[in-house]
């Protein structure tokens, strides 16, 4: 699998993005954040890095007018749209629900269990991930 340059581009882009998340998370004491390294959301988008690394590598290897590139490009757009749209909206809803649950919890009506709020990405985080994936694919495939 490692011999496959498209797969290698995608995996390296993902690994770099996840590692960067651990360092770019805002922390009071600074340093590396395992929570952000292992979690979803954050800067840059590893989903975007992964799919753009794959799509650009496929384009470089098979041609940007190939069916293989068309498939990988369309799927990349779906993943990036989902990261910045649907998953981000779900994160905002979780934030609102957590606030409501905190108010109810203070009244003693039930045991509080917080929902995960960092689910999606800002458009800038998606763009940063996509650019990272493109850069990695260009380095690996050229």
* pLDDT tens digits, 50-105: 999 999 999 999 999 999 999 999 999 999 888 877 766 666 676 777 676 676 66
Mean pLDDT score across all residues of the chain: 82
DSSP code string of 16-36 = HHHHHHHHHS--TT-S--HHH
Residue 26 has pLDDT above 70, yes or no: no
Percent of the residues in the chain that have a pLDDT greater than 70, as a whole number: 68
Sign of the dihedral through C-alpha 26, 28, 31, 33: negative
Residue 118 has pLDDT above 70, yes or no: no
The pTM score is 0.72
Q: Where are the domains of the chain?
A: 5-85+120-141
Tokens 């600074």 sit on residue: 30
Residue 11 has pLDDT above 60, yes or no: yes
Structure token pair of residue 80: 């990036």
Structure token pair of residue 61: 């290897």
pLDDT of residue 122: 78
pLDDT of residue 2: 79
Nearest to 138 by CA among 81, 69, 58, 84: 58
CB atoms within 10 A of CB 135: 17
């Amino acid at each position: 699998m490692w011999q496959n340059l498209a797969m290698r581009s995608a995996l390296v882009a993902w690994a770099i993005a996840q590692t960067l998340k651990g360092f770019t998370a805002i922390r009071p004491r600074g340093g590396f954040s395992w929570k952000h390294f292992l979690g979803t959301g954050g800067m840059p988008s590893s989903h975007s890095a992964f799919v753009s690394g794959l799509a650009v590598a496929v384009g470089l290897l098979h041609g940007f007018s190939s069916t293989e590139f068309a498939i990988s490009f369309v799927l990349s757009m779906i993943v990036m749209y989902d990261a910045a749209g649907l998953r981000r909206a779900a994160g905002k809803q979780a934030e609102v629900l957590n606030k409501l649950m905190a108010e109810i919890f203070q009244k003693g009506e039930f045991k509080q269990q917080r929902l995960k709020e960092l689910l999606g990405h800002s458009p800038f985080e998606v763009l940063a991930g996509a650019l990272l994936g493109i850069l990695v694919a260009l380095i690996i495939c050229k």
